[in-house]
């Protein structure tokens, strides 16, 4: 019994000291191929993992039918694992805001019950403009639901839509097109876009999730450009 007790205490200490891991869960705007995910992971240090489980074209419902969902269930068994959750782009096309809120709540609870610490995020802004310095994004009602769900569940929230729009409005339409994955693609990100918007997410983590702030690599020059609205 005594040996078992010592082993238990040692195990608890090791668990408490273990570096956190982060899972990225979402749609194409998060993916390694054309989202902010790789830029964010490049801005971290010392994590047990920064694993991108996002999948193109998916909603809060259809993502659960992917292999990434099964990977999440396994990965969340590892202590001190966080899940950054960002949906809305595809949900907007097929469901009401109320249904989105219900689905996001359900998925978030599944992820939490699997063992992860969820962090909710509003959507990446589309780079569509009503004039040179005003983005015209229709994701607002869905992001408002994300904010409400985070509040009701008592979870951290990263306001990516608001922060991305603030940057894009300052930057302007002409320069914002330099982030396009393809010439006319104002939703997805190329490598430069991943760098800039990944930095926005990293800075949000640093200010909103204190338990992860030490694992974010500072880039004062890039952060200053984002605040100033420049490239």
For residue 117, what are its two tokens? Answer: 């610490």
pLDDT score of 71 more than 80: yes
pLDDT digit string, tens, across residues 135-152: 988 899 999 999 999 999
Give the pLDDT of residue 137.
82
Helices (H), the chain: 2-17, 37-42, 67-75, 91-94, 97-113, 140-153, 160-171, 173-176, 191-208, 220-228
pLDDT score of 110 more than 70: yes
* Residue for token pair 């990100």: 189
Q: What is the mean pLDDT of residues 79-95?
A: 99
* Max intra-chain CA distance, the chain: 71
**Beta carbons of 124 and 153 less than 8 angstroms apart:** no
pLDDT score of 65 more than 50: yes
**Beta carbons of 95 and 129 less than 8 angstroms apart:** no
Q: What is the mean pLDDT of the chain?
A: 95
pLDDT score of 230 more than 60: yes
Residues contacting residue 109 through CB under 8 Å, at least 6 positions apart: 153
Give the pLDDT of residue 16.
56
Give the pLDDT of residue 83.
99
Percent of the chain surpassing pLDDT 90: 91
How far apart CA 217 and CA 31 sit, in angstroms, is 21
Domain 20-228 -> CATH class: alpha beta
50 closest CA partner among 218, 226, 215, 219: 215
For residue 35, what are its two tokens? Answer: 């989202």
119 closest CA partner among 159, 62, 158, 76: 158
**Beta carbons of 21 and 50 less than 8 angstroms apart:** yes
Residues contacting residue 157 through CB under 8 Å, at least 6 positions apart: 119, 120, 121, 122, 146, 147, 150, 151, 208
Give the pLDDT of residue 5.
53
With a threshold of 0.85, does the pTM exceed it?
A: yes
Domain-wise residue ranges, the chain:
20-228
For residue 206, what are its two tokens? Answer: 């640093």
Q: What is the mean pLDDT of residues 99-113?
A: 99
pLDDT score of 192 more than 70: yes
**Beta carbons of 66 and 114 less than 8 angstroms apart:** no
5 vs 123, more confident: 123
């Amino acid at each position: 019994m005594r040996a078992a007790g010592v082993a238990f205490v040692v195990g608890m200490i090791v668990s408490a000291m273990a570096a956190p891991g982060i899972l990225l869960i979402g749609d194409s705007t998060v993916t390694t191929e054309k989202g902010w995910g790789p830029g964010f992971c490049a801005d971290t240090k010392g994590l047990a993992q920064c694993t991108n489980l996002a999948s193109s074209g998916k909603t809060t419902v259809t993502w659960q039918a992917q292999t990434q969902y099964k990977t999440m269930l396994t990965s969340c068994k590892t202590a001190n694992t966080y899940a950054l959750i960002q949906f809305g782009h595809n949900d907007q096309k097929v469901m009401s805001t109320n249904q989105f809120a219900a689905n996001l709540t359900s998925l978030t609870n599944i992820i939490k019950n699997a063992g992860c610490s969820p962090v909710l995020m509003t959507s990446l802004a589309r780079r569509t403009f009503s004039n040179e310095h005003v983005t015209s994004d229709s994701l607002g009602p869905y992001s408002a639901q994300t904010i409400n769900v985070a509040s009701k569940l008592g979870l951290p929230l990263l306001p990516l839509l608001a922060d991305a729009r603030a940057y894009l409005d300052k930057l302007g339409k002409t320069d914002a097109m330099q982030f396009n994955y393809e010439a006319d693609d104002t939703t997805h990100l190329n490598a430069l876009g991943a760098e800039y918007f990944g930095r926005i997410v990293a800075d949000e983590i640093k200010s909103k999730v204190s338990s992860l702030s030490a694992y974010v690599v500072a880039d004062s020059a890039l952060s200053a450009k984002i605040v100033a609205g420049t490239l």
